[in-house]
Structure 1
Amino acid sequence: MQQIIDFILELDKLKGVTRKTRPLGLERQENSAEHSWQIAMLAASLAPYAAEPVDINRVVAMLLVHDIGEIDTGDTIVYAEDGWEERKAAELAAVTRIFGLLPAAQAQRFMSLWQEFEDGETAEARFAHAADRAMPVLLNLANNGQSWRENGISHARVVQRIGPPIQSGCPALWDYLVERLAHAQQQGWFGAD
Structure 2
Amino acid sequence: MVEDDLISARNPFPDGIDERLSAQLAFIAEADKLKTILRASPLAAADRRENDAEHSWHLALMVVLLAEYANEPIDIGHAVKLVVIHDLVEIYAGDSPVFDASSRLDQREREEAAADRLFPVLPDDQAREMRELWDEFEAGQTPEARFCKAIDRLEPMVLNWFNEGGTWRMPGANLTTIRARESGVVAGSTSLGAATAALVDEGVRRGWIRDGGAQDDGSGGEPVA
**Length-normalised TM-score, structure 2:** 0.81
Structure 1 unaligned residues grouped into runs of 5+: none
CA distance in 2, matches of 1:85, 1:152: 14
Residue 48 (1) aligns with residue 64 (2): no
**What is the CA-CA distance between 1:14 and the residue it aligns to?**
0.5
CA distance in 1, matches of 2:126, 2:135: 14
CA distance in 1, matches of 2:159, 2:171: 15
Which residue in the other structure is 1:168 paired with? Answer: 187
CA contact (8 A) 2:101 2:172 kept: no
Residue 111 (1) aligns with residue 159 (2): no
**What is the CA-CA distance between 1:84 and the residue it aligns to?**
4.0
Cα shift readout 1:34-91 (whole Å, capped 9, x = no counterpart): 0011011111111111000011111110001111111111101123445646211211
**What is the CA-CA distance between 1:142 and the residue it aligns to?**
1.2
**What is the CA-CA distance between 1:124 and the residue it aligns to?**
0.8
Matched letter for residue 113 of structure 1? L
Which residue in the other structure is 2:43 paired with? Answer: 23
CA contact (8 A) 2:98 2:104 kept: no
Matched letter for residue 167 of structure 1? V
Secondary structure of the residue that 2:112 maps to in structure 1? helix
Residue 146 (1) aligns with residue 166 (2): yes
Q: Pick the structure with greater CA Rg.
A: 2
Q: How many residues end up aligned between the 2 structures?
A: 192
- How do 1:1-193 and structure 2 match up within 5 A? 1-81=21-101, 84=104, 86-160=106-180, 162-191=181-210, 193=215
CA contact (8 A) 1:152 1:190 kept: no
CA distance in 2, matches of 1:25, 1:164: 27
CA distance in 2, matches of 1:91, 1:113: 14
Secondary structure of the residue that 2:209 maps to in structure 1? coil
Change (3 A) 1:85 1:109: farther
CA distance in 1, matches of 2:38, 2:141: 28
**Length-normalised TM-score, structure 1:** 0.94
Query: Whose helix proportion is higher, 1 or 2?
Result: 1
CA distance in 2, matches of 1:130, 1:46: 11
CA distance in 2, matches of 1:11, 1:83: 22
Structure 2 unaligned residues grouped into runs of 5+: 1-20, 216-225
CA distance in 1, matches of 2:45, 2:146: 30
CA distance in 2, matches of 1:133, 1:93: 24
Q: Percent identity?
A: 36
CA RMSD in angstroms, aligned pairs only: 1.5
